Amino acid sequence: MKFGYFDDNAKEYVITSPKTPLPWINYLGCEDFFSLVSNTCGGYSFYKDAKLLRLTRYRYNNVPGDSNGHYYYIKEGNTIWNPGWMPTKTDLDSYECHHGIGYSIFKGNKNDLAAELTDFVPIGSTCEINKLTMTNHSKEEKHFSIFSYVEFCLWNAMDDMTNFQRNYSIGEVEIHGSAIYHKTEYRERRNHYAVYSVNAPIAGFDTSRDAFLGAYGENSAPDVVVSGSCKNSVASGWAPVGSHQLDVTLAPGESRTYVFVLGYVENLAAEKWVGRPEDGIINRTPAEKLLEKFNTTEKADQALADLKAYWEKLLSHFTVSSKEEKLDRMVNIWHQYQCMVTFNMSRSASYYESGIGRGMGFRDSCQDLLGFVHLIPDRARQRILDIASTQFEDGSAYHQYQPLTKKGNSDIGSGFNDDPLWLIAGTAAYIKETGDYSILDERTPYDNDDSKATDLMEHLRRSFHYTMEHRGPHKLPLIGRADWNDCLNLNCFSTEPGESFQTFGPSEGPNAESVFIAGMFVRYGKDYVEICRHRGMAEEAALAEEAIADMEKTVLDAGWDGEWFLRAYDHYKNKIGSKECEDGKIYIEPQGFCVMAEIGLKEGNCLKAMESVEKYLDTKYGIVLLQPPYHRYHVELGEISSYPPGYKENAGIFCHNNPWISIAETVVGRGNRAWQVYTRTCPAYIEDISEIHRTEPYVYSQMIAGKDAPNFGEAKNSWLTGTAAWTFLNASQYILGIRPDYDGLIVDPCIPSFMDGFTAKRDFRGTTYHIEVENPNHVEKGIASVTVDGNAIEGNLIPVDASKKEVHVKIIMG
Amino acid sequence: MKFGYFDDNAKEYVITSPKTPLPWINYLGCEDFFSLVSNTCGGYSFYKDAKLLRLTRYRYNNVPGDSNGHYYYIKEGNTIWNPGWMPTKTDLDSYECHHGIGYSIFKGNKNDLAAELTDFVPIGSTCEINKLTMTNHSKEEKHFSIFSYVEFCLWNAMDDMTNFQRNYSIGEVEIHGSAIYHKTEYRERRNHYAVYSVNAPIAGFDTSRDAFLGAYGENSAPDVVVSGSCKNSVASGWAPVGSHQLDVTLAPGESRTYVFVLGYVENLAAEKWVGRPEDGIINRTPAEKLLEKFNTTEKADQALADLKAYWEKLLSHFTVSSKEEKLDRMVNIWHQYQCMVTFNMSRSASYYESGIGRGMGFRDSCQDLLGFVHLIPDRARQRILDIASTQFEDGSAYHQYQPLTKKGNSDIGSGFNDDPLWLIAGTAAYIKETGDYSILDERTPYDNDDSKATDLMEHLRRSFHYTMEHRGPHKLPLIGRADWNDCLNLNCFSTEPGESFQTFGPSEGPNAESVFIAGMFVRYGKDYVEICRHRGMAEEAALAEEAIADMEKTVLDAGWDGEWFLRAYDHYKNKIGSKECEDGKIYIEPQGFCVMAEIGLKEGNCLKAMESVEKYLDTKYGIVLLQPPYHRYHVELGEISSYPPGYKENAGIFCHNNPWISIAETVVGRGNRAWQVYTRTCPAYIEDISEIHRTEPYVYSQMIAGKDAPNFGEAKNSWLTGTAAWTFLNASQYILGIRPDYDGLIVDPCIPSFMDGFTAKRDFRGTTYHIEVENPNHVEKGIASVTVDGNAIEGNLIPVDASKKEVHVKIIMG
């Protein structure tokens, strides 16, 4: 069952019923100001940091669901409705929500009155624009009122939801003309406020929630809207809100457009006030400048056009055209869009991540980078340096860092022993994309201490050596607190509720080892070797090669279970992910990474591992993380066994590592299987089962309930997942096979045999590559011939030629 | 305007409209299981710790307001209603909420069907009972359904409201007969679950919120209730709830009673499961035993009777009878009840304290003790030892400690330099009440380290000396991070939002001094001297007396501003609370404490200070904390200047220190004024302005907006305030003047001159004192004669005579 459709020309998903199984959201903003917006106009805004600078209040896990947003009420006679259905839930004569790239449009009609609401965050400004066009489609003159409504958050979202004995006394506002200023705490240490305005004279306003809603009021029927007349309330404490009243008359066929702006404004400390601070009148000059930028419909339309052009350009760097409409749609639009959102948000603010719990993950951010480095290489470069700056001198790393300060989060600390290797992965991806080795020369601090800075190359060296030197009884890498995905906590041994599995117990034990990290070591160690070679560090390269070879041997000796790769050894040196185990006999992660690392490729281990994944972990909705699920808590394993069977890491379909298997299948050359794995969790391919999948059909979720769960197939935690990056990497670099490498662009497709071929356009180091792939013999992998601008070449590495703006590549598979 | 009335016989406040200005709540439970319940059945339950072991989910600051509670829906035909009005808000034919002492009763009638719901937590059991009696008052047989509803919290209230990427996947339940078991995380480290049951066969149940409410559903109209038929849903992840359906037929005049129980149950680790842990069937035996205790109406009624008897006995220790009905009501019932609630809750869980933010305050708990020591001296004794155990070896103290572990909270740390003296205050109050000096011999750790333990007397010594030895340029005590009430942060100098005023900056500076602490030092130093004397520590007593005399002189030299006592000196050695200041010229705290300490009593400073309070700080709704309010942020003062004028410490009417002034007025003998101060904030005396005051008319709030605020007279933060203890102390020991002392009971009334006298009954050290006070000459203070059992005595100290069970005291004022 579907609740809408893809409009690929507009790059939109069009939702045709407000009653989606869960709220389906979009992200507005790509610089510093962000909004989450659902298909019923729910959501909230923040500036830079969703915890510390939240503009509007949202209530997670609330009843009624998805409550609070940026709402517009239309009151015509006794009928009150919203263009996005919520919160009145008045039945609309027609409804559409268009989630586009960086904007959302809501089209609601009721009694021949049409509302079209366009929400977006313009490039270069710190505000959200809500452009509302009302059209009278009837034959009579229409008189109605519009009431806008936002509820302000008192900036710190955590404090806002806990510290009421203070918060109920601090709310402050100012009103000037049509502009409502939310200035709570501006009197003291804040130098910023919010402004909410409309480009028209207003009939009145409200800024007190209690006044607007009325005693025991609800968003579904605010007192002010029901009565049709605002109260011009001035909030003092309690809950400040912003509401404008506009009284409108429209002749038959007439339209009118209003531009509402919700903005974030900072002042210099010396320029906070008009006159004396004691008088408490805020300096509105920068706000007025901001409002002036969007005070006509034309200006707002131009800002939207600029935003669309910005995205059009970004998404033009990689495009594919095949007979697979859904593949093209995902690769050209939604995979890359989701990658950009994970770049912006990390794991901070979604409808499942409350925006207050986590900083940027070291591991997460490095992986996210794999997905967006081709889109915004300059920002990727900065991100790498930011991440590396939180590394410790011994090569280990803070597991998270704070987006505002960019400093490591000492609450979480270090000890996640896969982290260092991800830095190599991210840096290698950046160099392969850009050819910019100069990043390796950048002076980069440790633990944000400039006095300890070295060049980035040295950071990579320490990353590699940290892993090399922290090994256990089987010479496999020690796992530390945990590797991906934080839930196998082999040194934790927690028995008390509330103890964090990630931080309780020692940061490292002497025994617990990870085969997964071993796979990463081999995989990204090879990148490290190549980078060393390029830097002329032949001795280090040789040393690293030897360590890699040794690790490969170690994995084959101690990390192979007969049919698949082991997952780990626990504190007692017992195997995890072995046929010897009662539960958790086979895990997905080492199969993905050891095969991507080509450990035992020649010996057949890789193919065998892939066959075992198919045999033991496959389901119709994707590959589960392990089997059988843990049925009880294992104190020696930690969080993974804390989940009910089939959920999350305990045998859920963790979307993040499904592409690892798909990529691994391309390593063993099984294009059909790689395709099957790709499509089984790919949003566009499962749009038809939206009533089962429930989350948005245009983006990935973190997890789909596995076959052991009662709700098999139900997804959770949409949007902010490493799946975004990995799946784009998989689709673009391994299935389509267009893969940046150190010295050029590799083209090496591994596609389903039914596919005749495809064409693609790829911008790479200043040149645009037009790539045509033909698959006349319907193979899954293999290259019969490669021509570049009509000339046949050996191999499938298209060398860089900076003199060319355009290059035409033709590949015949076979 | 009133929204109800006091029923003094029943010891109840009866609310007659559900639409009170704010939710008016009650507390159920006096041991380990607690519930908050509002007049519309909102609220939640927890076991011991409101943050870590919360049973049901409540949403603070929500829209709709006060949402989530323990609800019962009645569906008769198409009419759906609740006995407490919420959440359907269906108009009732009649409504009453009786908030009693430890129980609440809701009486709702609709269409001749009557519901009477009695909520209480029985003594000795870890559960809440909801006894629901339905009566058919019509002449027709009635058929209707009852749907119960609670939403479970996933135990850790903080995690529950932030960590959705995990929490949406962990919810688990079991259903057996009429019992719904909420067992989330029981599979792993928890050894406890919740049970919600009813003593009757059920037509069905629901445990999934989504199933119960329906898609986009609301508490006001759950899908299941609207349709009239439950879904027997079994929650798996998302939001587990508990709902029973009962289909009922009642003949005309017939009644039926159901007993619902919501319980908390723990199992030993070895007894968690029935059979293997892998099978995941919880051991229900203890739950079944709990349910059996209340499985008939008679058993539930007996439990309620036991609860009432428990309270009746507690409240019999001190009673007054005067012609002032409101005084008697407050002293005999509500003051003492609020004291017990602050003992139980400290500042953790109210409708303003979210239950997750704070531990027990060192200062708070010592003060709370002043109010409940006569009710439960054994628990007061333990509380003192718990508090003292968090003291540091140098005499300073953790400012807060955790109720579950009883360990100091290192996030807040120490440096609140009034803390140590409160330990002397609390211990002195305990000794005066009980005569039990043996508490001073108790071995008591420092920083919870047993190896560092000394006797409690040594703790007191270190408290006194800590203050004596930490003094500034004027020889006044250094303020440290802050004294009461945490908001004058003279060493903080915070410029960045989000920095805690209480913990940012150094814990102590060399200059900033507190006149308030000086007043405390003198006041409680005198108690320290007496205790030393009793212990035979003559030398120490003499030393202390000298230090106190020196401090008195210091205050009169450096702490007197001409008309009133200064508040402090800041980091720059500038005066705070002086006529030299632009804002904040006069503060309430030092006037209260220096006068209570009788500093300059003979010299006239005390009377002058009291006159200044009346002249500069008085308002019709109480005495504001300071004048004029700070109009801008002062970085050298901190949080106090962060509030808008008139709110909180910035010139709000902080109820906590109004009794200090009232007590201080009794020191200078002005009974009329003491009475005026007492009655202006006393709930029963301002019941008539409930529409202005807004919070409950039976208990104190922390703060009433001052005259500088737009909402002058509006109260906030009801229930959990030191006002409870201080006002009972004031009314009982200073206005009525019945005051325990080391060697007996002092009787020294200071009453308004219109009062003819009063009688009181006071249990004291095993003897019941029947006290009759006559005021024939209508004086405000002074004793003409005292007779004890008919014999005149010198002075007004009634000596202890353990041989007597009853003593009759007659006082003639004059």
Q: Which of B187, B632, B642 sits opposite A278 (nearest CB)?
A: B632
Mean pLDDT of A468-485: 98
Q: Which amino acid is at B522?
A: V
Residue-wise pLDDT for A442-463, tens only, equals 999 999 999 999 999 999 999 9
Contact indicator for B83, B66 with CB cutoff of 8 Å = no
Return the DSSP state at B162: T
Kind of pairing between the strands at A192-198 and A142-155: unpaired
Paired tokens of B151: 């939403």
Domain spanning A31-156+201-261+291-313, CATH architecture: Distorted Sandwich (2.70)
Task: Give dist(CA A187, CA B707) in Å, integer.
Answer: 19
- Which range, of A56-70, A358-372, B543-557, averages the lowest pLDDT? A358-372
**Tell me, what's the pLDDT at B671?**
98
Residue-wise pLDDT for B50-74, tens only, equals 999 999 999 999 999 999 999 999 9
Task: Give dist(CA A612, CA A635) in Å, integer.
Answer: 28
Query: Which residues are CB-contacts of A335 (< 8 A; sequence separation ≥ 6)?
Result: A371, A724, A727, A728, A731, A732
Q: Which amino acid is at B633?
A: Y
Q: What is the 3-state secondary structure (H, E, C) of B354-407?
A: ECCCCCEEHHHHHHHHHHHCCCCHHHHHHHHHHHHCCECCCCCECCEECCCCCC
- CATH fold, domain B735-813, is Maltose phosphorylase, domain 3 (2.60.420)
Q: Which of B67, B172, B188 sits opposite A633 (nearest CB)?
A: B188
Where residue B799 falls (left for φ over 0; alpha for ψ -120 to 50; beta otherwise) is beta
Residue-wise pLDDT for A105-134, tens only, equals 999 999 999 999 999 999 999 999 999 999
Which alpha helices (DSSP H) does A561-718 contain, by range?
589-596, 605-612, 658-667, 671-681, 690-693
Active site includes B486? yes
Chain centroid, CA A557 distance in Å: 38
> Can you tell me which residue has the tokens 């409409």?
A325
Residues of A identified as active-site? 486
Task: Give dist(CA A157, CA B595) in Å, integer.
Answer: 43
- Which range, of A414-428, A592-606, B352-366, averages the lowest pLDDT? B352-366
Task: Give dist(CA B425, CA B367) in Å, integer.
Answer: 8
**Residue A167 — very low, low, confident or very high, per pLDDT cuts 50/70/90?**
very high
Residue A405 has pLDDT above 90, yes or no: no
Q: Name which of A553, A594, A560, A592 is nearest A575 in CA terms.
A: A560
Contact indicator for A420, A396 with CB cutoff of 8 Å = yes
CB contact under 8 A, B189 and A648: no
Q: Name which of A450, A455, A513 is nearest A483 in CA terms.
A: A513
Kind of pairing between the strands at B449-455 and B443-446: antiparallel
Measure Cα distances from A745 to A88, A452, A741, B600 in Å. 54, 37, 6, 90
**Residue A136 — very low, low, confident or very high, per pLDDT cuts 50/70/90?**
very high
Nearest CA of chain B to the CA of A51: how many Å?
11
**Residue A404 — very low, low, confident or very high, per pLDDT cuts 50/70/90?**
confident
Longest Cα–Cα distance of chain A, Å, equals 85
Within the 641-700 window of chain A, which residues sit less than 8 Å (CB to CB) from chain B? Answer: 641-644, 647-648, 652
- Dihedral angle over CA of A608, A609, A614, A617, nearest 10: 150
Residue A439 has pLDDT above 90, yes or no: yes
Mean pLDDT of A55-82: 97
**Tell me, what's the pLDDT at B411?**
87
Q: Name which of A553, A578, A34 is nearest A262 in CA terms.
A: A34
> Can you tell me which residue has the tokens 């949409």?
A718
**Tell me, what's the pLDDT at B358?**
67
CB contact under 8 A, A216 and B710: no
Residue-wise pLDDT for A239-266, tens only, equals 999 999 999 999 999 999 999 999 999 9
Paired tokens of A44: 């909230």
> Can you tell me which residue has the tokens 């908390």?
B264
Sign, CA dihedral A471-A474-A480-A483, equals: positive
Q: Which of B169, B239, B703 sits opposite A647 (nearest CB)?
A: B169
Residue A381 has pLDDT above 70, yes or no: yes
Contact indicator for A752, A673 with CB cutoff of 8 Å = no
Task: Give dist(CA A657, CA A516) in Å, integer.
Answer: 12
Task: Give dist(CA A652, CA A626) in Å, integer.
Answer: 8
CB contact under 8 A, A237 and B68: no
Residue A358 has pLDDT above 80, yes or no: no
Task: Give dist(CA B491, CA B509) in Å, integer.
Answer: 6
Chains A and B: how many Cβ contacts under 8 Å? 209
Residue A285 contacts B where some CB pair is shorter than 8 Å: no
Task: Give dist(CA B153, CA B222) in Å, integer.
Answer: 19
Measure Cα distances from B626 to A221, A749, B70, B599 in Å. 41, 77, 42, 21
Q: What is the mean pLDDT of chain A?
A: 97
**Cα(first)–Cα(last) distance of chain B, in Å?**
39
Domain spanning A470-643, CATH architecture: Alpha/alpha barrel (1.50)
CB contact under 8 A, B216 and A633: no
Task: Give dist(CA A132, CA B789) in Å, integer.
Answer: 85
**Residues in chain B with pLDDT < 50?**
none
User: Kind and range of the H or E element at A370?
Assistant: helix A362-372
Within the 390-449 window of chain B, which residues sit less than 8 Å (CB to CB) from chain A? Answer: none
Residue A301 has pLDDT above 80, yes or no: yes
Mutate to test the interface with B, among A63, A191, A642 (most CBs of B within 10 A): A63
Which residue among B66, B206, B328, B486 is the active-site one? B486
CB contact under 8 A, A52 and B647: no
Mean pLDDT of A598-617: 98
Task: Give dist(CA B808, CA B768) in Å, integer.
Answer: 8
Within the 206-245 window of chain B, which residues sit less than 8 Å (CB to CB) from chain A? Answer: 209, 213, 215-220, 234, 236-237, 239
CATH 3.30.360.10 assigned to domain B4-313? The reply is no
B785-789 long-range contacts (CB < 8 A, ≥24 apart) are B785/B810, B785/B811, B785/B812, B785/B814, B786/B747, B786/B810, B786/B811, B786/B812
Q: Which of A169, A218, A494 sits opposite B648 (nearest CB)?
A: A169
Measure Cα distances from B80 to A194, A306, A664 in Å. 42, 53, 58
CB contact under 8 A, A216 and B164: no
* Domain A739-813: top CATH class: mainly beta
- Domain boundaries, given as residue ranges, for chain B: 4-313, 735-813
